[in-house]
Structure formats: structure tokens, C-alpha cells
Amino acid sequence: MQPLVSIIIDNFNYARFLGAAIDSALAQSYAPVEVVVVDDGSTDNSREVISRYGDRVSAIFKPNGGHASAFNAGFGASHGSIVMFLDADDALLPIAVEEVVRAWHEGVAKAQFVLAHIDAEGRPLGGTVPYLPAQMPEGDIRASILDAGGYIGVPTSGNAFARSVLERLLPLPESNWRQAADTSLEIIAPFLGDVVSLGKTLGCYRIHESNHGMLRDDLDSRKLRVKIVIDLQRESALSEFARMSGFTIPPDWAAREPAHLKYRLASLRLDPTHHPIMDDRATRLMLMGLRSTWRNPGYNLRGRLFHTAWFPLAALLPQAAAVKIIRRGLLPGRRRGQYQAEDSVQSPIVSEGRLR
């Protein structure tokens, strides 16, 4: 008997993209699939878009509560033994569910697959997330997560979870996860079973001006602070799970990931008054960054050499010059004809977190 797969679409004011997301979920080559659409208090015409689909989707209209609130509501209305969360501005390719089910086996906690970058109009931008799909890990990756401060993974729309795993992790505390709720699930799930990584592009990740958590054309110290806080919340969530499960995580676990340290150093240099970690110092962050760059397995030689130069320059140069270096290390751009988000070599689990 084929397992039922639930695709839960969480939406907040993304009416212009929502139809494409729902269409992609309904167009799956695999059956049985149920599609649950959670509208998290949108003020645009999202309700009208959802209503057009009638009983082909299960619709939930709720007051705005944030990312975790939408996850909790959608999961509560779903029935599948495999559950996928799809952001309303992203889309799945028709074979996505079929490929996930084919790769699934007993003991899997989550599967992940590659997402292709598209623009607001759905046109391909040439890049993927993650940037190096071949480096996505498989199997029991618990030890490497503890050692590296994360793993090479994929944002919300590129994941599928075992229902039995989500039953242990949900409901998420909604006040803590108004954005980036996926990061909590993605970092803890591998401690409850194996990870399957499909090196195939099975979905689309939309890059557009309303990706509020993403650094785009200019440095925004507020967004940097959001990223830092999300990383620390992720560390706290894993630490609490570890405590209940009888293991420990290393001190300053999040600081084992260079991307996290880049955000902290950039925030400190750009806006020290509002930097969220009071005892941070530029030279200390520089040394931590250099150490994590060379011990973290998610970075290739080119990335390590780049960061070996970036951390000292960003930490030690006068602010005006440092800002140019920080911009070079954090802002996205087109390299070799491909769109790459910041820190695209490493895990999007240390990633954007869309604001709601």
C-alpha cells in the first residue's frame, strides 16, 4: 500500500505566488497526496486564491500567528505518514513526491532534495540551494552535526519528514518561532532517524523582493540580528532536545558554523549599538571564524581560503573599508552565471528564515 503524503502549504500575504505553489502540489505524479493550505491571517486576496480550489485542498484560515503557528495548524489537519511543508512562494516539480517516496525506507527521519532558484516571475536564475548538492550528508549524521554546528541542508520546501518524527517535535512554541520554524525541525530531526539526501532538483526556491529575511542588494543590520537570533534559538532548541534525550551539545555550538560567526561579526561592525550579543569582540569573532572555517566539513578549499582572508579584513580594517569586505562576503550576486545566496556553500539551515 502506497503511503499517504501530506503537502502543507503555509501562506502569509503571498497571493501572487500561492496559486503556483498549490498547482505544483496538486500536479504530483504520485498518489495518494493530500494538500493542506494554511492561510496565516493574510490581508491580501489569498483567501480568494485558495477558495478557487474548492475541495481539492483542505483550507485553514486562521489569525496571524507566524511560521510555527502555521506549521502546527497544518500538521494538526494532515494525515500523511510523510509530511512536506511548502512555502507559498516556492513550488515542487511534478516528480518530487514520487522521488521522495521511492527513496524512503524504514528508519528515515527526513529526506531532503535540491531546489532551483527562480525569480518572482518563475524564471530560472541558474543556481541551486544547496550550492553543492553532492555535499549533502546521508544516514546517521548526528555526530557531524554536533561537531560542525549544522549540516548542509535545504530550506522548508526541500524537506519531507516522517510523521512519527513530527509527532515528537510539534507543536512548536509559537512565540519563539514566528519565522524560520523549519530550522528547529531540520536540526533536530536527524537525531530521530536517518537522513536521505536526493541530489536531484525537485523543487523551486523563489528569490524576490519580499524575501524579508534574505540579504539582497544592501546590508541590513536588522536582518543580520534576526539571523543571529534564529541561530541561537536553533541552538537552544537542540540543547533542550538533547537534555531530554540524554546527550549534550558542545558549548557555543552555533559558533562552530562560520556563517553564524560572519553574521555576528558583520552585525558588530555595522551597528555595534544594537548588536544582540553584548560580550562579542571583533578580534575574538575573527579567531573563532578562522578556527571554524578550517574544521567545518561544509566548506571546500576555495571557501576556506576566502574566509581565511575575509574574517581578518572584516574584523581589523577601519569601518568604511570593512563594510566593503563584509558586503563582498555576505551579499548575493551572480558568479559564473549562477545566482548564489549568501553562504550558499554551507547549510541553509543557517539560513534566511522568512519574516511573517
| Nearest in space to 116 (alpha carbons), one of 93, 87, 84 | 93
DSSP letter (8 states) at residue 139: B
Q: What is the pLDDT of residues 219-237, one digit of tens each?
A: 789 999 999 999 999 999 9
Residue 345 has pLDDT above 70, yes or no: no
Question: What mean pLDDT is predicted for residues 186-192?
Answer: 98
E-assigned strand segments in 75-217: 82-87, 91-92, 108-118, 124-129, 159-162, 194-206
- Spatial separation of the C-alpha atoms in residues 188 and 190, rounded to whole Å: 6
Asked if 42 contacts 15 with a C-beta cutoff of 8 angstroms, the reply is yes
Q: What is the pLDDT of residues 57-74, one digit of tens each?
A: 999 999 999 999 999 999
Q: Residue 343: what pLDDT?
A: 39
pLDDT band at 163 (very low <50, low <70, confident <90, very high): very high
| Nearest in space to 159 (alpha carbons), one of 135, 183, 126 | 183
Residue 75 has pLDDT above 90, yes or no: yes
Residue 331 has pLDDT above 90, yes or no: no
Q: Give domain limits for the chain.
A: 5-206, 221-331
Question: What mean pLDDT is predicted for residues 296-315?
Answer: 91
| Nearest in space to 233 (alpha carbons), one of 192, 188, 202 | 188
Lowest-confidence segment of 105-114, 263-272, 274-283, 294-303 by average pLDDT: 294-303
Residue 131 has pLDDT above 50, yes or no: yes
* Average pLDDT along the chain: 91
Q: Residue 346: what pLDDT?
A: 40
Whole-number Cα distances in Å, 241 to 112, 184, 236, 246: 22, 10, 9, 9
What length does the chain have? 356
Q: Residue 297: what pLDDT?
A: 76
Q: Residue 1: what pLDDT?
A: 85
Residue 300 has pLDDT above 50, yes or no: yes
Say which residue the cell 569586505 belongs to.
Answer: 325
Residue 348 has pLDDT above 70, yes or no: no
Q: Residue 211: what pLDDT?
A: 67
Asked if 6 contacts 79 with a C-beta cutoff of 8 angstroms, the reply is yes
Q: What is the CATH number of domain 5-206?
A: 3.90.550.10
Peptide bond into 130 cis (omega under 30): yes
Asked if 124 contacts 117 with a C-beta cutoff of 8 angstroms, the reply is yes
Residues 6+ apart with CB under 8 A from 117: 124, 125, 126, 127, 128, 129, 204, 205, 206, 207, 339, 341
